Structure 1
């Protein structure tokens, strides 16, 4: 049975969102083991870049080639997209509660839809708007908890992370339509690693001193929460509208909540379970409301 491009895109972004959902697990393990935010981010992207370079050099060396224009685009996406967004998000975590930081970050589907509506040809239909509102309500129910603000600039950083990520999603969808997703990931992650390493200036010599737990968390986030989801996201953006991809990525907080109950033995309240269900129903309704694009 032949799978339509649209269905492939839905499957790809669903896989990617689940991978991103593991971020909290690996991050919490790493921070509890003594790694700093700067070390963790720099090691994460550097290892991910090295793994993709080794894989492509060994098995698909032709896939490394990219035009100078596309390398420049990938560099900008890596530096001002992923590196900038990641730094802003963790700056937000330093000044507000983790719950509020997550709520601020997950406003990005809203920004993607707004930017798409006003700056691209992807106008929002009434059904899409209703699904977005329903998913946002579900997200609020799922993540609502201890909200604390110690620094106004941390709130601004949280919103900045959401807006910068929304811009990243939109630009990736428009500027990298013809680039192999794994090749795009290679350069986006590489330039992201360079930018994060320059900003945080970790001591890479300390890699030899990592504990097994720290090394495992870095390897896990590099593969499961960086290489796989970033590649899947870029692949999906070549088949679906940016606004639809952004909404489907709300599978990520559901995954994170379920993983928290499994790994950290956290409990979900009835309100949180209802929130997760509302998000899932909104995503299904939005997906079913779309008419498949002609092949």
Structure 2
């Protein structure tokens, strides 16, 4: 894989990461149906991911734990104001909106990545990239369109806040961590995210021993499949592709979520949803095949 074209490798990394993130809804649904609260689930997810990653690296790659002070501070800020803030905003949105509307608001983040990148960086959006983004966004609306409900108007702001904060996280990660080993960065992003979530939500870690089998399995799945693997691969992809490309390719996540919902929860995909998924897929393939090359750190 090291001899693979960096752009192709980055595209594969973010595609696999997006599939991993797509399982969030599966494990989250099982956990919520078993009676877990949002705060404790988020805290347990990141705390377990941090513990597993620390154990693995200390046992097999202890030298990878070391980061200089500047990169440690950057990773800490990304973990606190990136993942911890984004996750909390998103689940506040879910609490006050229908899941469909919360998801639609969250997935405006590729739009925000492109806007911020165009105005605040040297990566200007080409006409082709803009058309792909519009096509993918249209497909997303078709894929996720369903029950729209607003129970708390402030939850709409939280939904947009989750999208904007995640867009900023993607942009800053792509620019500030180009020379950092992805798994080392992920270690500190996840660790500081776990600390921030624990301070904000005050989970009772002493109750972990009382978790049911389904709750423990859901947390393990969230920690490994939806956090360690995708977060590390996302950071790796950001070293090879433009932030705008990564943001667009991450729209594989809602396709994965819809397909897994159909396979596991037997949710019926309507013809409109299938058309939406195909439109997203076509836009992603077109953008990946014909994107302008970018510099790689390799």
State the TM bucket, normalised to the shorter chain: over 0.9
Structure 2 match to 1:271: 272
In the alignment, the residues of structure 1 paired with residue 127 and residue 185 of structure 2 have an alpha-carbon distance, to the nearest angstrom, of: 33
- In the alignment of these two chains, the number of paired residues is 295
Q: Post-superposition, which runs of at least 4 consecutive aligned residues in structure 1 deviate over 3 A? A: 291-295
Per the alignment, residue 184 of structure 2 pairs with 183
**Partner residue, 1:79:** 80
TM-score by length of 2: 0.98
Q: Distance in 2 between matches of 1:247 and 1:216?
A: 30
SS of structure 1 residue aligned to 2:221? helix
Secondary structure of 1:146's partner?
A: coil
Deviations 1:21-79 (A, max 9, x none): 00000000000001100010000000000000000000000000101111000000000
Take 1:37 and 1:282, find their aligned partners in 2: how far apart are those partners?
34
Unmatched 5+ stretches in structure 1: none
Q: Which residue of 2 aligns with 1:23?
A: 24
* 1:228-247 pair list within 5 angstroms: 228-247=229-248
Shift of 1:293: 4.6
> Does residue 158 of structure 2 align to residue 152 of structure 1?
no
> In structure 2, what is the equivalent of residue 206 of structure 1?
207
The alpha carbon displacement at 1:3 in A equals 1.1
SS state at 1:273 partner: helix
In the superposition, relative to structure 1, how do residues 207 and 286 fare at CA in structure 2: closer, same or farther (>3 Å)?
A: same
Q: Does 1:140 align with 2:141?
A: yes
Q: Secondary structure at the match of 2:148?
A: coil
Tell me if 1:51 matches 2:55: no
Partner of 1:94: 95
- Give the deviation of 1:263 after TM superposition: 0.4
Separation in 2, partners of 1:105, 1:132: 15
Distance 1:87 1:18, change over 3 A: same
Question: How far is 1:291 from its partner?
Answer: 4.0
CA contact (8 A) 2:240 2:295 kept: no
Question: Shift in Å at residue 208 of structure 1?
Answer: 0.2
CA–CA separation in structure 1 for the residues paired with 2:4 and 2:65: 28
Q: CA deviation at 1:292?
A: 4.0
Distance 2:43 2:216 in 1: 13
Tell whether the 8 Å contact from 2:50 to 2:191 is kept in structure 1 after alignment: yes
Q: Distance in 1 between matches of 2:292 and 2:101?
A: 35
**Separation in structure 2 between the aligned mates of residue 107 and residue 246 of structure 1, nearest angstrom:** 10
Q: Within 2, Cα distance between the matches of 1:35 and 1:129?
A: 41
Counterpart Cα distance in 2 of 1:60 and 1:149: 48
Q: Which residue of structure 1 aligns with residue 108 of structure 2? A: 107
* Deviation of the 1:106 alpha carbon: 0.2
Tell me, in whole angstroms, the C-alpha distance in 1 between the residues paired with 2:280 and 2:200: 36
Calculate the aligned-residue CA RMSD, in Å. Answer: 0.9
How far apart, CA to CA, are the structure 2 residues paired with 1:135 and 1:292?
21
Taking the TM superposition and a 5 Å limit, the aligned residue runs for 1:23-42 are 23-42=24-43
Partner of 2:284: 283
CA displacement, residues 214-271 of structure 1 (integer Å, 9 cap, x when unaligned) = 0000000100000000000000000000000000000000000000000000000000
Q: Which residue of 1 aligns with 2:10?
A: 9
Distance in 1 (CA, whole Å) between partners of 2:53 and 2:205 is 19
- Cα distance in 1, alignment partners of residues 295 and 236 from structure 2: 18
